[in-house]
Amino acid sequence: MAASQITQDVFFVGAVDYKRRLFDELIPLPEGTSYNSYLVKGSDKTVLIDSVDPPMIDTLLENLSGLGVKKIDYIISQHGEQDHSGSIPELINRFPQAQVVTNKKCMNTLIDHLRVSEDKFIVVEDGGELSLGNKTFKFILTPWVHWPETMSTYLMEDKILFSCDFFGSHYATDRIMASETGWDKIEPAAKRYFGEIMLPFITSIRKNIEKLKNYDIEFIAPSHGPVHDDISFIMDSYKEWSSDKLISKVIIPYVSMHGSTEIMARHLKSSLEKKGIEVLLFHLTEDDLGDLAAALIDAATIVIATPTVLAGPHPQAIYAAYLAKVLRPKVRFISIIGSYGWGGKTVEILADIVSTLKAEILDPVVIKGHPKDEDLKALEDLADKISLKHSEMIK
């Protein structure tokens, strides 16, 4: 995308990465992503907020050139991860007079990871300000969204909050304003992003949202995805996703080697649905784990369905359990179902992985071979138990 105007002196100058399909070798990107860099022209100073992933620096430089930028006074670095800071060393080469404005923790990250010289920095504190002449920035430390050094930057005159990863979405589009794409399309991407990146930090997210409540914000300009020009959608969603609220929903991540465990997963699903409970099945060797992360935001129960292989869970089930452990969802109940041939420690291994979640483990249903009538009945009993627990939870 070429440079796009946000307000009179504020421009998107970043890069849209339509083709990228995996982030950090970990997070699937079905909708691509963008690395949002913003240019702010003040009467006395010109500022760049964040940079782009290094392979896309030419796009950033072309956008700056297209706007006639010959001098940058300050590069505000809000976050040390390379998709936003990785091009700063090259920008310093091209604009040697530029100083890097950031907080102390982020400065140390940039020195450690990018070898930026310490004399290039201006260190700001929480609540500190920077004048551009006719415009003023205020810096707001917003740690743990998702790294400890992340900050946001508020442009007072234009009422723009530059929020870095906070409030972002991995959604590639050539329309800079969220209203041009529509919240109905952005919401699923923003929710996935929240599940994948923000879910382990909901306590910090609540504190950071509280910290923003006295600011008059007209635009939220994150470092990924469109700019929110009606902030109520993303703000209300973040408040809900980071709240304690759970819904009567069961997630069943499953893997099945010879079909028995899949029969069990599907029977449990239909038994739960007969009781009006929403159920999402995730085929662990086919489905997108980003969708699983999004579903974890508000699901009350997870049931991991796995066969026993080499005396333990299938490796994909271990991965799903580990994902749940590190994403730290608010889930209240966990169970394990599956089929085995001659025995093993499937339940013990999975229960140990998820033990840090402090969820109640409901009686597992682990059976020998193909499910028989009594096994299906045991799954129906598990559905009864989950239904009862959800009813008590909602009371």
Q: Are 29 and 39 in contact (CB under 8 A)?
A: no
Closest by CA to 164, choosing from 103, 88, 222, is: 222
H/E element, 231:
helix 231-241
Q: Which residue, 163 or 335, has its beta carbon nearer to ligand FEO?
A: 163
Question: Using CB under 6 A, which of 17, 81, 149, 262 touches ligand FEO?
Answer: 81
In the complex, least distance from residue 106 CB atom to ligand FEO, rounded to whole angstroms: 12
* Continuous segment of H or E residues that includes residue 390: helix 373-394
Does 87 bind ligand FEO (CB under 6 A)? Our answer is no
Dihedral (Cα; 268, 270, 275, 276), 10-degree rounding: 120
Binding map of ligand FEO across residues 320-359, x = CB under 6 A, - = no contact: ----------------------------------------
By the rule CB under 6 A, 84 interacts with ligand FEO: yes
Q: Which of 145, 290, 154, 164 is nearest to 214 (CA)?
A: 154
Residue placing its CB nearer to ligand FEO in the complex, 9 or 83 = 83
DSSP annotation of 322 reads H
The C-alpha atoms of residue 128 and residue 123 are separated, in whole angstroms, by 9
Cβ distance to ligand FEO smaller for residue 60 or 365: 60
Which residues contact residue 274 at a Cβ distance below 8 angstroms, ignoring those fewer than 6 apart? 383
Choices 68-76, 79-87, 319-327, 370-378 (CB under 6 A): range interacting with ligand FEO? 79-87
Interface size with ligand FEO, residues (CB under 6 A):
9
Three-state SS for 94?
Answer: helix
- Rule CB under 6 A: is residue 165 a binding residue for ligand FEO? yes
Give residue number: closest CB to ligand FEO: 81
Residues 129-148 that bind ligand FEO (CB under 6 A): 146-147
Q: Are 325 and 356 in contact (CB under 8 A)?
A: yes
83 touches ligand FEO by CB under 6 A: yes
Stretch that binds ligand FEO, among 36-44, 80-88, 212-220, 228-236 (CB under 6 A): 80-88
224 near ligand FEO, rule: CB under 6 A: yes
